[in-house]
């Protein structure tokens, strides 16, 4: 996968050199080849550390929202789910999109957290592991990735598209994107039409598998399933801390708020239900919550399932259009009469 | 400039990797380190908020000198001069054994190594100990005797391979959450889970079998289980034959055991003892996980030996998913023991009484010999102060005024000293009693290595410069040694240089260097040579001592039993988000807010009997003292037992606890104290 790496590195170098951005946030090599950590790059020499391996250990959008300098111009190398999270954060005034140059990498899934001691690159139906290409076994993928149908970064300024032969093409989605490609002297390529039928079928199959059984359950059994999962919770706050949509500076989950009782394990169900109500309408199914959970609670399954129910009801697709605000903030009297979603 | 610095969490012995986000020279936050093999990109709450105390306004930034009743800031030069003079004077006047030192399981291997070297070389005594005495001293003696190596036999990452996990005396989900993760994983893959604990700890909610034993009856329970195994012929005869010795002696004791008697002593129904025997003995791979519920007893060593007996009886050792797995409490308590911060052991568990080994260490240090007599342990040091034998003390990063048993006695002892030095990040309850306080740097401000509970040695990386004039402990010790004219052995430019020396005298670490340790997975000892890959599982082909040794252990009652005056058993422990004496977590707002104050848990039956209301203020008393705290009436504890977390100085459990100790390990019986309770 050196081609995609090379192109992304080139783009980053060019953005810094042309002073389009002051800093670039991307994943790169840490201690060794498989140690993937977020990098804050200000010197173009460091661009060579960037890797586009199919592993995505945290939300870079959230990192920039929390720790980025709002007055600086920042370049961001993102996968599509995180690019959607960036849009949601912008809607919530947590990032200044005008100052962000986003480079999206086409993505067919990333590996499960904790299984990354390899060099893994995932393609539509193959996986390259430590240099060897094999047919893709779907259990390599993080659970949320198997349900994903947004492979193409249409919401970023620049889109880096992967070709089956390991090559890649670059496209600009915005004027900022064109400026980036100009700086990098990369000609915009006419994108070949992409047939996502097989991948959408994969997503549907896994949604059916992950949600189907739960949906078939009687409401009280479904509630019981989740309560049993939440029994395992050790209140590490990992799901909240990892979630790019959880942005509140003052969080009602904090013990001093006394909404969720402190001094107790597991925390009351409200801990989970409350967070679900807060962010469920905008979940981008990035899977960071589930990857952060020490106890293996299938957190993203719950959030994604609710999102999938709310999305058609409110005609809301999270993470695409900056102008469309999340249902929670636009809810009308009429909306309150809508039925069809059961939370139990 | 913004960067993530990969390093190791400073709390429990699991040793999870964290990334510290450093922005313009300041630590901003902690996030999980994805590639690290213990955390695997996950953390518990303590891990997520491990940075919060770093910038506490309470951090000491200048050396302090006591003048009259208050402290005055002083220069490093002056502080070290005063200490050097006082230590030299004390040594000359009352002899080296009139000085005693406490090292720290929170400090790095390099710092522990250097302090014990200072104590043995510059002072010339073996009076060095640390809080390992209070946690796994009995593991070191027990497993050392039975197997030849007093450490966790397997690894946290190995637990999911188990078919039966037997947790005894460990509140794993609260105290070692990333080990608990593996227990839950094992369980979800079909493993059976047995939890033995007088309290319904969080882990017990997931147990197939919860054995609610009375505190202090571990041996009776374990003997009962082993008796049942023999009765049913579930023992592993081939393993016993080929790999062990002393089985006949064990059998002779078990022949005298009756399950009815075991039920009477432990309070665990006979049927449950038999069920536990069946689950543990008949699963393909069974592991035992234990912690303070086993070790903190006057029979601590015997409890550990009984656990070793059980594992050997069924051949559950030396394979994936098996083993005897003490979960070490502190981030580097494994390492501080490995480094010989103990009164009877040199680095690498070499006995000070073993002339050949001692002389070899002496030779490496360029000395003819080292002190030959084992020094005093933690509790013995306090006794020796009362007896006028120890007059000067130096404490690095420990807070015995809250952490040790019978703290009234400890305070009296420390107040009686001629001279006390405390080296810490904060003016702790202990530091307030000192004559000189030296400001130490935090975990984010220094380099070194920590050894986690799976014998995993890993590199702590410096993220920021030490705050104010604080210094890393290794620098302080080096400077003090030089102030006492011990130039040669104490000039190190970096912890890496100290490591290069310590690996030469610590056989288990011989093949390690910083380059190898810097990989995310570090190295697990023993690693005897530079091409040795490290050892994830001990005792695979043979035990470290050759054959595993069974010990015949009859049940013995705890030092204190309930009586008319003190009718309840107090057992102590920790809560999820506080750490020991709260010097760190009490200064971490997110962690402190989860469990802001102390309490006593009491069963509804006892509450009724003693007229205690839920949330009511109560007085709890023992033969040694009394405290006021709030009651929590809950069936989480069995009748006859009350539970108080050890952390809160305002309601200090250790005001009540007993300093009577295990004869071999000298670990005090923090888990069983006879107490009375009444409304306050």
Q: Using a CB-CB distance cutoff of 8 angstroms, which residues of chain B are in contact with residue A114?
A: 34, 40-42
Does B202 contact A at CB distance below 8 Å?
Answer: yes
| Distance separating alpha carbons of residues B48 and B46, to the nearest angstrom | 6
Q: Which segments of B551-616 does DSSP mark as H helices, in order?
A: 589-594, 604-609
| Distance separating alpha carbons of residues A224 and A219, to the nearest angstrom | 9
Start-to-end Cα distance in chain B: 56
B144 Cβ contact list (under 8 Å, min separation 6): B150, B349
CA distance A31 to chain B (A): 7
What is the torsional sign of CA B130, B132, B137, B143? negative
The segment(s) of chain B belonging to CATH 3.40.228.10 are 153-327
| CATH class of the domain whose range is B64-134+331-449+465-503 | alpha beta
User: Is B48's CB within 8 Å of A38's CB?
Assistant: no
Does B19 contact A at CB distance below 8 Å?
Answer: yes
Nearest CB partner across the interface for B45, out of A31, A235, A256: A235
Peptide bond into B291 cis (omega under 30): no
CA distance A7 to chain B (A): 23
> How many CB atoms sit inside 10 A of residue B271's CB?
10
Q: Backbone phi, then psi, for B192, in 5-degree steps? A: -85, 150
User: Is A30's CB within 8 Å of B35's CB?
Assistant: yes
The segment(s) of chain B belonging to CATH 2.20.25.90 are 2-48
Which class for A175: exposed (0-12), middle (13-18), buried (19 or more C-beta within 10 A)? exposed
> Cα angle vertex A79, ends A74, A84, to 5°?
80
Q: Using a CB-CB distance cutoff of 8 angstroms, which residues of chain A are in contact with residue B463?
A: none
Does B617 contact A at CB distance below 8 Å?
Answer: no
Eight-state DSSP code of residue A191: P
The segment(s) of chain B belonging to CATH 3.40.50.740 are 64-134+331-449+465-503
Whole-angstrom CA distances from B250 to B227, B244, B313 are 10, 12, 10
pLDDT in tens, B331-373: 999 999 999 999 999 999 999 999 999 999 999 999 999 999 9
Give the pLDDT confidence score for residue B304 in this predicted structure. Answer: 98
Give the pLDDT confidence score for residue A280 in this predicted structure. Answer: 92
Give the H or E element holding residue A83. helix A80-91
B626 Cβ contact list (under 8 Å, min separation 6): B619, B620, B655, B656
The CATH topology of domain B153-327 is: Dimethylsulfoxide Reductase; domain 2 (3.40.228)
CA distance B615 to chain A (A): 13
Q: Using a CB-CB distance cutoff of 8 angstroms, which residues of chain B are in contact with residue A42?
A: 1
> Which tokens sit at A223?
């509630």
Q: Using a CB-CB distance cutoff of 8 angstroms, which residues of chain A are in contact with residue B45?
A: 234-237
User: Is A32's CB within 8 Å of B23's CB?
Assistant: no
> Which tokens sit at B570?
């107090």
CA distance B108 to chain A (A): 21
Does B459 contact A at CB distance below 8 Å?
Answer: no
Chain A residues touching chain B at CB-CB below 8 Å: 23, 30-32, 34-40, 42, 55, 57-58, 66-67, 113-114, 116-117, 231-232, 234-238, 241, 254-256, 262-263, 265-266, 291-296
- Look up tokens 């000892």; give the residue: B525
**Residues written for chain B:** 680
> Number of residue pairs across A and B with CB atoms under 8 Å?
123
Q: Which segments of B118-207 does DSSP mark as H helices, in order?
A: 132-135, 137-147, 172-175, 177-188
Do residues B192 and B210 make contact, with C-beta atoms less than 8 angstroms apart? no
> Searching chain A, which residue's CA lies closest to the CA of residue B515?
A31
| Distance separating alpha carbons of residues B409 and A307, to the nearest angstrom | 61
Does B573 contact A at CB distance below 8 Å?
Answer: no
Please state the ipTM of this predicted complex. Answer: 0.95
Q: Specify the CATH number of the domain B568-679.
A: 2.40.40.20
B44 Cβ contact list (under 8 Å, min separation 6): A234, A236, A294, B16, B177, B178, B576
Domain B2-48 homologous superfamily, CATH: ADC-like domains (2.20.25.90)
Q: Using a CB-CB distance cutoff of 8 angstroms, which residues of chain B are in contact with residue A256?
A: 593
- Which stretches of chain A score pLDDT less than 70? 1-2, 113-117, 339-344
CA distance B266 to chain A (A): 27
| Distance separating alpha carbons of residues B680 and B666, to the nearest angstrom | 35
User: Is B45's CB within 8 Å of A30's CB?
Assistant: no
Q: Backbone phi, then psi, for B663, in 5-degree steps? A: -65, -30
CA B5 to chain centre: 27
Give the pLDDT confidence score for residue A114 in this predicted structure. Answer: 61
What is the torsional sign of CA A287, A290, A293, A299? positive
What is the torsional sign of CA B465, B3, B448, B440? positive
User: Is B180's CB within 8 Å of A234's CB?
Assistant: yes
| Distance separating alpha carbons of residues B558 and B198, to the nearest angstrom | 15
Nearest CB partner across the interface for B34, out of A23, A36, A236: A36
> B356 in helix, strand or coil?
helix
> Cα angle vertex A195, ends A190, A196, to 5°?
120
User: Is B519's CB within 8 Å of A31's CB?
Assistant: yes
Whole-angstrom CA distances from B412 to A275, B376, B385, B406, B659 are 51, 18, 9, 10, 14
CA distance A221 to chain B (A): 19
The segment(s) of chain B belonging to CATH 2.40.40.20 are 568-679
CA distance A234 to chain B (A): 7
User: Is A266's CB within 8 Å of B202's CB?
Assistant: yes
User: Is B184's CB within 8 Å of A234's CB?
Assistant: no
Beta-sheet pairing, B600-602 with B626-633: parallel
pLDDT in tens, B392-442: 999 999 999 999 999 999 999 999 999 999 999 999 999 999 999 999 999
Give the H or E element holding residue A308. helix A299-314
Q: Using a CB-CB distance cutoff of 8 angstroms, which residues of chain B are in contact with residue A38?
A: 4
- Look up tokens 């980036």; give the residue: A180
B293 Cβ contact list (under 8 Å, min separation 6): B168, B169, B170, B196, B197, B198, B215, B218, B671
- Look up tokens 């032969």; give the residue: A165
User: Is B35's CB within 8 Å of A31's CB?
Assistant: yes
- Which stretches of chain B score pLDDT less than 50? none
């Amino acid at each position: 996968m050196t081609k995609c790496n090379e192109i992304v590195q080139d783009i980053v170098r060019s953005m810094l050199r042309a002073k389009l951005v002051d800093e670039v946030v991307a994943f790169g090599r840490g201690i060794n080849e498989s140690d993937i950590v977020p990098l804050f790059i200000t010197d173009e020499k460091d661009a060579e550390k960037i890797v586009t391996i199919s592993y995505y250990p945290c939300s870079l959008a959230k990192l920039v929202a929390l720790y980025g300098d709002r007055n600086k111009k920042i370049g961001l190398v993102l996968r599509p789910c995180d690019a959607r999270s960036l849009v949601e954060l912008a809607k919530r005034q947590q990032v200044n999109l005008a100052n962000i140059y986003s480079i999206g990498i086409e993505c067919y899934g990333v590996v499960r957290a904790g299984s990354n001691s390899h060099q893994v690159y995932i393609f539509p139906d193959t996986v390259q592991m430590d240099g060897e290409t094999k047919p893709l076994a779907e259990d390599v993928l993080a659970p949320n990735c198997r349900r994903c149908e947004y492979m193409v970064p249409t919401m970023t300024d620049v889109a880096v598209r992967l070709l089956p032969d390991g090559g890649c093409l670059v496209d600009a989605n915005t004027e900022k994107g064109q400026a980036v490609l100009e700086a990098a002297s990369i000609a915009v390529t006419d994108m070949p039409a992409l047939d996502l039928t097989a991948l959408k079928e994969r997503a549907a199959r896994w949604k059916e598998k992950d949600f189907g059984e739960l949906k078939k359950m009687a409401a009280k059994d479904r509630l019981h399933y989740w309560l049993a999962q939440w029994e395992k919770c050790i209140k590490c706050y990992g799901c909240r801390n990892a979630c790019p949509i959880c942005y509140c500076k003052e969080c009602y989950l904090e013990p001093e708020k006394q909404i969720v009782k402190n001094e107790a394990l597991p925390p009351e169900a409200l801990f989970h239900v409350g967070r679900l109500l807060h962010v469920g309408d905008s979940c981008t199914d990035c899977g960071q919550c589930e990857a952060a959970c020490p106890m293996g609670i299938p957190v993203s399954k719950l959030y994604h399932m609710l999102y999938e129910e709310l999305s058609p009801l409110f005609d809301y697709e999270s993470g695409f259009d900056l102008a469309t605000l999340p249902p929670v903030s636009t809810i009308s009297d009429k909306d309150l009469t809508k039925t069809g979603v059961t939370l139990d | 400039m913004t960067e993530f610095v990969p390093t190791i969490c400073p709390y429990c012995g699991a040793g999870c990797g964290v990334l510290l986000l450093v922005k313009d020279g300041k630590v901003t936050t902690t996030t999980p380190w994805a590639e690290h093999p213990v955390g695997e990109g996950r953390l518990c709450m303590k891990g997520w908020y491990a940075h919060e105390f770093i910038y506490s306004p309470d951090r000491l930034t200048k050396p302090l000198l006591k003048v009259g009743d208050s402290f005055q800031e002083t220069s490093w030069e002056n502080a070290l001069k005063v200490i050097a003079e006082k230590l030299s004077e004390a040594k000359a006047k009352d002899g080296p054994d009139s000085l005693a030192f406490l090292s720290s399981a929170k400090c790095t291997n390099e710092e522990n190594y250097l302090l014990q070297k200072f104590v043995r070389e510059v002072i010339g005594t073996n009076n060095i100990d640390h809080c390992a005495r209070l946690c796994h001293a009995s593991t070191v003696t027990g497993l050392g005797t039975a197997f030849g190596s007093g450490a966790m036999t397997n690894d946290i990452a190995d637990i999911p391979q188990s078919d039966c996990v037997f947790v005894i005396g460990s509140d794993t989900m609260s105290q070692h959450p990333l080990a608990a993760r593996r227990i839950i994983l094992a369980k979800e893959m079909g493993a059976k889970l047995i939890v033995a604990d007088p309290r319904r700890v969080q882990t017990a909610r997931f147990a197939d079998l919860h054995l609610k034993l009375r505190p202090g009856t571990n041996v009776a329970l374990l003997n009962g289980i082993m008796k049942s195994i023999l009765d049913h012929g579930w023992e592993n005869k081939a393993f016993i034959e080929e790999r062990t010795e002393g089985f006949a002696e064990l059998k002779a004791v078990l022949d005298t055991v009756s399950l009815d008697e075991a039920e009477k002593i432990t309070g665990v129904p006979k049927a449950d003892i038999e069920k536990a025997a069946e689950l543990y003995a008949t699963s393909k791979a069974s592991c035992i996980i234990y912690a303070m519920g086993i070790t903190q007893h006057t029979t601590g060593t015997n409890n550990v030996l009984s656990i070793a007996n059980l594992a050997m009886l069924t051949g559950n050792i030396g394979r994936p998913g098996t083993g005897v797995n003490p979960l070490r409490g502190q981030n580097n308590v494994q390492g501080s023991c490995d480094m010989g911060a103990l009164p009877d052991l040199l680095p690498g568990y070499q006995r000070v009484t073993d002339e050949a080994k001692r002389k070899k260490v002496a030779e490496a240090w360029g000395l003819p010999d080292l002190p030959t007599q084992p020094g005093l342990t933690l509790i013995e040091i306090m006794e020796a102060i009362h007896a006028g034998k120890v007059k000067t003390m130096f404490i690095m990063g420990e807070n015995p005024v809250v952490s040790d048993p019978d703290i009234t006695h400890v305070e009296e002892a420390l107040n009686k000293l001629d001279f006390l030095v405390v080296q810490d990040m904060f003016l702790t309850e202990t530091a307030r009693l000192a004559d000189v306080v030296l400001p130490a740097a935090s975990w984010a401000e220094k380099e070194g290595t920590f050894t986690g509970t799976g014998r995993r040695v890993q590199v702590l990386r410096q993220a920021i410069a030490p705050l104010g004039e604080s210094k890393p402990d290794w620098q302080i010790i080096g400077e003090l040694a030089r102030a006492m004219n011990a130039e040669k052995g104490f000039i190190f430019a970096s912890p890496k240089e100290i490591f290069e020396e310590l690996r030469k005298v610590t056989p288990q670490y011989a093949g390690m260097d910083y380059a190898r340790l810097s990989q995310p997975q570090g190295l697990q000892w023993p690693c005897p040579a530079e091409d040795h890959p490290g050892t994830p599982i001990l005792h695979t082909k043979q035990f470290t001592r050759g054959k595993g040794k069974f010990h015949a252990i009859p049940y013995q009652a705890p030092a204190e039993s309930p009586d008319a005056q003190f009718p309840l058993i107090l057992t102590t422990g920790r809560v999820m988000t506080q750490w020991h004496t709260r010097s760190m977590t009490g200064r971490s707002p997110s962690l402190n807010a989860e469990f802001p104050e102390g309490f006593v848990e009491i069963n509804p039956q006892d509450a009724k009997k003693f007229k205690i209301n839920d949330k009511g203020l109560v007085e709890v008393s023992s033969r040694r003292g009394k405290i006021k705290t709030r009651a929590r009436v809950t069936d989480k504890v069995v009748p006859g037992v009350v539970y108080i977390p050890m952390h809160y100085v305002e309601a200090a459990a250790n005001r009540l606890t007993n300093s009577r100790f295990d004869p071999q390990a000298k670990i005090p019986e923090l888990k069983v104290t006879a107490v009375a309770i009444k409304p306050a």
